[in-house]
Amino acid sequence: MPHPHGQLYAYSFLPLKIKEELDSCKEYYSKKGRCMICDMNREEKEFKERVIAENDSFIAYIPFFTDYPYGVFIVSKNHKGNFTEFTDIEKLHLAEILKGITGAFDKLFDRLFPYMMCIHQTPVNCNEYEDSKDYYHFHIEFYPPLRDKNRIKFYASSEMGAWAACNPLSVEETAKTLREAYER
Ligand SMILES: [Zn+2]
Ligand SMILES: [Zn+2]
């Protein structure tokens, strides 16, 4: 697609991937009494090497478990579940970091950089997760299909056949390259 396009899905069921994420967050919260994504933010900030950028309200990093070499997450710093909870300044900071990250993608290999971007928020009209405000946390996940200027990171046998992701590159290295592109 040579132009950006957006799709909004409203499912009659909870998709499996989202359910997995919600269940993991819920389990973590019941064991530790803390939000897993708040803890992820804190650990990434301490470790530094996978962080691309941050402002007062959001932090962007490539988590160690990403399926894709440039699979950035943008996460709110405050524990918030969805867009409707953001203040005006948070909305402005989200727009700034989003523009910065997508700009860094285009700078990375000096070409238009394709990506899929998904917004994960607390589910609505869903009795099973009506308490998700406690343990689920707004974040954006990117799935860019490139691993180099003209090389694709294929979704290959391991991913297709076993749902076992194989990221061919070290995220500490791709984070460094993307951070440099962000600064340019
Ligand atoms: Zn949180
Ligand atoms: Zn997610």
Domains of the chain, start order: 16-183 (3.30.428.10)
Clarify whether 79 is annotated catalytic.
Answer: no
CB within 8 Å of 138: residues ≥ 6 apart: 75, 76, 80, 81, 82, 83, 85, 119, 120, 121, 122
Sorting pLDDT into bands at 50, 70 and 90, what band is 162? very high
Task: Tell me how far apart the alpha carbons of residues 79 and 145 are, in angstroms, rounded to a whole number.
Answer: 30
pTM of the predicted model, to two decimals?
A: 0.95
Token look-up 């994960």 returns 120
Q: How far is the CA of 157 from the centre of ligand 2 (A)?
A: 23
Most confidently predicted of 14-18, 72-76, 110-114, 165-169: 72-76
Could you tell me whether strands 73-76 and 139-143 are parallel, antiparallel, or unpaired per DSSP bridges? antiparallel
| Mean pLDDT, the chain, whole residue set | 95
- pLDDT of amino acid 99: 97
Q: Is the pLDDT of residue 72 over 90?
A: yes
| Phi/psi at 109 (5° precision) | -115, 20
Ligand nearest the Cα of residue 74 is 2
Q: How far is the CA of 21 from the centre of ligand 2 (A)?
A: 6
Q: How far is the CA of 73 from the centre of ligand 2 (A)?
A: 8
Q: How far is the CA of 38 from the centre of ligand 1 (A)?
A: 4
Q: Name the catalytic one among 3, 5, 79, 93.
A: 5
Task: Tell me how far apart the alpha carbons of residues 41 and 37 are, in angstroms, rounded to a whole number.
Answer: 6
Ligand nearest the Cα of residue 80 is 1
Q: Is the pLDDT of residue 104 over 90?
A: yes
Q: Is the pLDDT of residue 1 over 90?
A: no
Ligand nearest the Cα of residue 117 is 2
Reduce the DSSP state of residue 112 to 3 states and report it: coil
Distances (CA, A) of 42 to 34, 67, 83, 141: 12, 21, 21, 18
Q: How far is the CA of 141 from the centre of ligand 2 (A)?
A: 6
